[in-house]
Structure 1
Amino acid sequence: MADQWVRLELDLTTCPVQRFERYLEACRVAGIRLTTLAALGDTPDHRRMLYELNKECSADIPDRGEFYSFDEYVQQRIEVPSYDPRGIVIALDGDTWMGMSASSKHSGFVFNEMTGVRAGYRGRGISVAMKAFGLSFAELCGVTAVRTFHHPANANAIAMNRTMGYVDAEWEL
C-alpha cells in the first residue's frame, strides 16, 4: 500500500498566499479563531486535547486502523526532533477545539501530518484556513516547500490540497 499513497507538495515561491484570505475571513466572520499550540501553551492538558481531537478527526481516514494510545501518540508525534508546537494550528469555536492542522519541520521542507475538523464543522473551508494559517510555520523554518500525503481513497483531503495548489510530487515517504 505504501507505494500507492498520493504524494503532494506546495511550492511557496509560486503560491500566492493572499488567495487564501477568503477562507481566513470566513473563519473570522463565523467566530472561529485560529491559533497555534505554542500560543495556547504546549502543556500536558493541551497535548491531551490535541490527541483527542486528532483521534476523532482521524477516524474518517481510509484504512487508518486503530489510533495510537495517548502514550504512543506522545512518543511518536511529540517527543520527536521534528515536533514544534508553532506548527500545530488549532481552530477554536469559543473554548471548543474543533479543528487541527499539524505540521512538522524537516530538512528542506515542512510536512503537514494531519489536518482535520470535527464532523459538525466540516464544509466551511476551515481546513483550508487552518492550512493557510499554518503556512507561516514554513517561513519560520526557512523552507519553501510543504509536503503531505494521503490514502488514494481520501478524495476530500486530496481535493482540498489541490484547491490550495498542491501538486503531485515524487518524494520518498
Structure 2
Amino acid sequence: MSETWVRLELDVAGFDHDRFAGYVTECQLNGLRLTTLADLGDTPEHRRKLYELNKECSADIPGRGKFFSIDEYAERRFADASYNPRGVVIAVEGDDWVGMAATSRHEGFVFNEMTGVRAGYRGRGISIAMKTFAMGFVRECGASRVRTFHHPANAAAIAMNRKLGFVDAAD
C-alpha cells in the first residue's frame, strides 16, 4: 500500500448527538427508516442484501480494488468475533436498502468498517444520520473511541467524518 491512509478517531464523550439528531429526523421525514440488521433479522437473505449493498457502495472508494466474493465477505464480516448485527445500520426506503454503516466492537474502541449510500441517494445527509444512529451501538459497547480510515482521495468521506468530530488518530 503506497498511499498513506487517513486514520481518524472520534472521542465518544465529546460527540454532540443533539447537533446531528436533525439528520436522523430529516431522513425520517423524507421517507427513510433507519434500523439495524438485528432489528430487520440477521438472516441469510438479509446478509446477502447487505453484501450487495456494500459491494455497490464500495465501488467508488479510491484504491478499493476488486470486492470480496460472497464467501470471503461472510468470513470477514459475519464469522469475525467482532461482528454484531446491532452494529450494522441500514437506511431503508420502502423495501429498498439505500445505505449502510457497519461498525464492529474491539478492545477499547468501535471500528467504523464501512459507511456507504447508493449513488442516487448521496448528498442528503444519510451517512451522517446513519453514523449518528450508530452511536447507540457505540455507547452500548461502552467504547470511548470510534476509529475509521480512508484513502486520502476519498475527500467526501473524510469531510463527513470530520464534520462529526473525527480528528486525526494519534497512533
**Residue in 1 that maps onto 2:140:** 140
| 1:1-173 equivalence runs, <5 A | 1=1, 4-171=4-171
Q: CA deviation at 1:2?
A: 6.5
Name the aligned partner's letter for residue 132 of structure 1.
Answer: T
- Aligned residue pairs: how many? 171
Q: Distance in 2 between matches of 1:3 and 1:117?
A: 24
Structure 2 gap segments, 5+ residues each: none
Identical amino acids, percent of aligned pairs: 65
Deviation, structure 1 residue 7: 0.5
Q: Which structure 1 residue ranges, 4+ long, deviate > 3 Å from structure 2?
A: none
Given the two structures, how large is their TM-score scaled by the length of structure 1?
Answer: 0.96
2 CA distance for matches of 1:2 and 1:161? Answer: 23
Q: TM-score by structure 2 length? A: 0.98
Q: CA deviation at 1:170?
A: 2.6
Deviation of the 1:16 alpha carbon: 1.5
- Take 1:16 and 1:62, find their aligned partners in 2: how far apart are those partners? 29
SS of residue in 1 equivalent to 2:14:
coil
Q: Distance in 2 between matches of 1:2 and 1:170?
A: 20
Measured in 2, the distance between the counterparts of 1:137 and 1:43 equals: 20
Tell me, which stretches of 5 or more residues in structure 1 are unaligned? none
* Code of the aligned partner of 1:143: A
- Secondary structure at the residue paired with 2:75? helix
Structure 2: distance between partners of 1:134 and 1:156: 19
Residues 1:2 and 1:134: Cα distance change in structure 2 (over 3 Å)? farther
